Amino acid sequence: MAILDRVIRVAAGLAGAAGVAASAAGSHAFAGTNLDTAGKMLLIHAAALIALSIPALGSSRIRQMAAVTMIVGITLFSGDLTLRSTAGLPLFPMAAPLGGLLLIASWLIAALSAAGDHVD
Percentage of the chain beyond pLDDT 70 is: 95
Cβ–Cβ < 8 Å for 55, 2: yes
- How far apart, in Å, are the Cα atoms of 17 and each of 23, 28, 58? 10, 17, 26
Q: How far apart are CA 32 and CA 43, in angstroms?
A: 19
pLDDT tens for each residue of 74-92 = 999 999 999 999 999 999 9
For 32, which DSSP code? T
Range 18-27 contact pairs with CB under 8 angstroms and sequence separation of 24 or more: 18/42, 18/78, 19/43, 19/46, 19/78, 22/78, 22/82, 25/86, 26/85
pLDDT at 38 over 70: yes
pTM, full prediction: 0.92
Q: How far apart are CA 110 and CA 79, in angstroms?
A: 22
